[in-house]
Amino acid sequence: MMKNYKMILAYDGGRYNGWQKQGNTDNTIQEKLEGILSALAGCPIEVYGSGRTDAGTHAYGQVANFHMDWKGTAEELMDCINEKLPEDIALLSLEVVHPRFHSRLSAKGKIYEYTIWNSKKPPVFHRKYVFWCEKPLNVTKMQEASKVLMGEHDFKSFCANKRMKKSTVRKIYKIQFHCEDDKITISYHGNGFLYQMIRILTGTLIEVGEGKKDPKEMKAVLGALDREQAGFTAPSKGLALKEVFYEEGQDEK
């Protein structure tokens, strides 16, 4: 009998070309999973992710689902998958859920984290997971600018897809800063994010922290609906998908 499985997985995206499978490469997270599951099932299995993380972006709590006829328990299936996955991808949980549950279409919100290494000293042991910014950042000004970004807005200025035909309106519930030693972690909680939106938001906030932009400019940047008005796109290696949210009971069998 075909069952709908929900998985939560973590991965180091450093050596992959993003989540989504592509025609010109098989080096994506989705394809690694589909290859293993299809071999186990003896037929093609399609995996649906909650979002398409960019090349080099990491995940602590990516959610995906797939339909499969498996005779054993979900725990046995998870063990089989983990045995075959490379060491930089891991299944954290696997469960049978409601047939209509869809990891992307059912999602109500996501939290992403971006980590900056703010020091003149290189981040030797963190270099694969942070953006190194040598110039001291004024976090207070960055926080002031971030307040303008919270709420529901048209974030077209922060979207890398200039040909975007769908709505660019999104809602950010919360932007939080956590500073620990040389690390500054910015957490973004929203109902959804546009292509490279968080990396552009972060690049813009970094420019505020460096004094290149004034916090008062953020309203004008938002209102311009023009990518050229926002800051640079921060590198993908500092970004990680932290958590995906669903309505309570939405995934129950």
Answer yes or no: are the C-beta atoms of 240 and 58 closer than 8 Å: yes
Please tell me which residue in 12, 26, 54, 182 is annotated as part of the active site.
54
Query: Which residues are within 8 A (CB) of 83 and not within 5 positions of it... i.e. 6 or more apart?
Result: none
Tell me whether the CATH fold assigned to 2-106 matches the one assigned to 109-243.
yes
Any idea where the domains of the chain sit in the sequence? 2-106, 109-243
Q: Which fold has domain 109-243?
A: Alpha-Beta Plaits (3.30.70)
Going by C-alpha positions, the residue among 70, 17, 96, 54 that lies closest to residue 240 is 54
DSSP element (H, E) containing 9: strand 2-11
Angle in degrees, 0-180, between the axes of helices 139-149 and 197-209, rounded to the nearest 10: 140
pLDDT digits (tens, 9 = 90+) for 87-141: 999 999 999 999 999 999 999 999 999 999 999 999 999 999 999 999 999 999 9
The rounded distance, in Å, linking the Cα atoms of 240 and 183 is 15
Kindly report the CATH number that applies to the domain delimited by 2-106: 3.30.70.580
Instruction: Give the DSSP per-residue string, 134-145.
Output: -SPP-HHHHHHH
The rounded distance, in Å, linking the Cα atoms of 149 and 77 is 42
Clarify whether 181 is annotated catalytic.
no
The rounded distance, in Å, linking the Cα atoms of 58 and 245 is 18
Mean pLDDT of 40-51: 96
DSSP element (H, E) containing 197: helix 197-209
pLDDT digits (tens, 9 = 90+) for 144-167: 999 999 999 999 999 999 888 889
pLDDT digits (tens, 9 = 90+) for 170-225: 999 999 999 999 999 999 999 999 999 999 999 999 999 999 999 999 999 999 99
Q: What is the model's pTM?
A: 0.94
Say how far residue 251 (Cα) sits from the centre of its chain. Answer: 21
